[in-house]
Amino acid sequence: MSNIQNPILPGFHPDPSIVRVGDDYYIATSTFEWFPGVRIHHSKDLKHWRFISSPLTRTSQLDMKGNMNSGGIWAPCLSYHDATFYLIYTDVKQWHGAYKDAHNYLVTAENIEGPWSEPIYLNSSGFDPSLFHDEDGRKWFVNMIWDYRKGNHPFAGIVLQEYSEAEQKLVGPVKNIYKGTDIQLTEGPHLYKKDGYYYLLVAEGGTEYEHAATLARSKTIDGPYETDPNYPLITSNKKPELALQKAGHGSLVETQNGEWYFAHLCGRPLKETYCTLGRETAIQKVEWTEDGWLRIEDGGNSPLQEVTAPDLPEHPFEPEPEKDNFDGETLHHQWNTLRIPADSSWCSLTERPGHLRLRGMESLSSVHSQSLVARRQQSFHCEFETKVDYDPEYYQHMAGLVIYYDTEDHVYLHVTRDEQAGKSIQLIQTKQGEYEERLEKPISIQEEGPVYFKGVIHEASLALFYKQAEDGEWTPVGPELDPTHMSDDSAENVRFTGTFIGMATQDLSGMKKAADFDYFIYKEL
């Protein structure tokens, strides 16, 4: 089989948790404030991947209304034992300032595609939890612990506690088993057992350009843990020449042939340091040394863009279709909503067959109820298009094409109504919370009929267009825009998602006026 090209999951797919079940491999990744929660991809060869399920589909499992930007699902852990899949996840309600309101839960399923159980609450002492199934049948829960007190380091180490499956709760003492290294910011713990050692894999250095992953080991599960003398296992820190930056947080898997691989987080910056696609998932082949430590296959600790593939048959999947005609009764798995599920109160594929009907709700700045359906941008070069049928009555009615990072940073090409221009097109760019109309005046359009919108992104350039007839010419709208403000790296505070592209509508009068979208095309160039 030819080599693996990184990243294996392009676009916003951070914090990979990888597991093998027989001949099948699964990776679970973080979704933050986007619904449904957690994305799981499937592979047979570690090279080709396809989406297979999102376990958290109900508000009884994940209620994110009101969660702040980059809250929600942080760093899930997927494991398998005794014919059952276990998914551990954190729902972060608030994370700025001294405190972190981070609640940790467990759901289970017999089939990776579900249905997944109702959640079992575990604790709220910190984030990045994971579950380890020991050979003696006991289960152990680890998470980083947060210390809000002034003068103490907030990343206070990795704590261990036993999980009782019979009682469905954590039991026994809580022990701090590892404080990390001088890289600091120790988080993302995963436990493994090999050759009489418990191995603890952690992320360190924060999730930006100083990120890293470190391995430690102990003869007993509760320590003491000794750190690999040649730590870290991986980092891109101070290596600006590398294509894969931010390398760190990840997990390990052994193939059925005894080869080992490390799935990890990475980012690919555009000009300066802007990762508009968000944090992605890459994979490295790793090898055990004679003295029982792991090394990346070339012996160094830098992430490789091209990786030796495992000794497995190549197993590609059919590519995803570029066009969604909205002909089904449920949304395609590429689509996501913000904080809330796509229920019939505001989102329908059946009220007008062949169309996605969205009923307007709150503004693009809302952390509660937005009528927004979007998908990840997964290439630096892409084109996207939609057709919207909408009859706005006031300036408070808007519907159209959105390029969205979060409530603070987005671009919105939409139909609205203006007192002078009538039914018209407006272009809004919001940067770090500052609203700006990018047209000198709205563009008047005909009262009857749909509007077609198109966007083209080439790295740090976003061009937008419209037309009013299927066979019409595309007309540019406004200036070409710089989309790099829609990245983890452009805000004053660190944040964790990536750019999404999709459809939205607002009715700021509160009457839930509907907009109908006939299709959506997303094409990588």
- Bridge partners of residue 47, in order along the sequence: none
The percent helix, strand, coil of the chain (3-state, each to 5) is 0, 45, 50
C-alpha torsion sign, points 293, 296, 300, 303:
negative
The pair phi, psi for residue 112, each rounded to 5°, is -60, -25
Name residue 431's amino acid: K
Active site residues: 15, 187
Residues in the chain: 525
Number of H helices, E strands in the chain: 0, 40
- Determine the 3-state secondary structure of 71 from DSSP: coil
**Residue 2 to residue 6: CA distance in whole angstroms:** 13
Name residue 410's amino acid: H
Among candidate residues 304, 200, 289, 290, the one with its CA nearest the CA of residue 247? 304
Name residue 57's amino acid: T
Burial class of residue 174 (count of CB atoms within 10 Å of its CB; 0-12, 13-18, 19+) = middle
**Residue 341 to residue 33: CA distance in whole angstroms:** 11
Name residue 46's amino acid: L
